[in-house]
């Protein structure tokens, strides 16, 4: 397990969609319990290109293997607003890796 490496916390929110009773749906962001995590830095070339081009930065974020993290979740880790783009569950349940993006430039998350 990687619990000893999870030295920061991810505040989380998830889009909750429910029927509105009139044949449609309504959606709202719901805050979830925070989780301990470890966030890796993007590589230097990504940081350089993102600063120049307004490109996406990718951040791998690691959690305990049984944690409930899903594609589309919003995370706030170390003051960074991240969106989960993919979740990896390795064959041996040692960790859960969430690939996230951080938007640089004018477009909000």
* Cα 22 from chain centre: 33
Residue 109 pLDDT > 50, yes or no?
no
pLDDT digits (tens, 9 = 90+) for 1-36: 688 889 999 999 999 988 888 888 889 999 999 999
H or E, element range at 49:
helix 44-53
Burial of 6 (0-12, 13-18, 19+ CB in 10 A): buried
Q: Two tokens at 62? A: 């690691």
Q: What is the mean pLDDT of residues 77-104?
A: 88
Going by C-alpha positions, the residue among 94, 86, 38, 91 that lies closest to residue 66 is 94
pLDDT digits (tens, 9 = 90+) for 47-78: 555 555 556 678 899 999 999 999 999 999 98
pLDDT digits (tens, 9 = 90+) for 37-48: 999 877 655 555
Domains of the chain plus CATH, in order, are 3-13+28-103 (2.40.10.270)
Whole-number Å distance between alpha carbons of 54 and 76 = 20
């Amino acid at each position: 397990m990687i619990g000893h490496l999870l030295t920061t916390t991810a505040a989380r929110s998830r889009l909750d969609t429910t029927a509105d009773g009139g044949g449609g749906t309504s959606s709202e962001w719901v805050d979830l319990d925070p989780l301990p995590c470890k966030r890796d830095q993007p590589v230097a070339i990504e940081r350089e290109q993102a600063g120049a081009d307004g490109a996406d930065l990718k951040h791998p974020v690691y959690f305990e293997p049984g944690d409930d993290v899903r594609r589309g979740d919003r995370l706030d880790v170390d003051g960074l607003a991240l969106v989960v783009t993919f979740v990896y569950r390795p064959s041996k349940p040692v960790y859960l890796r969430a690939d996230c993006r951080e938007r640089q430039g004018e477009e909000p998350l």
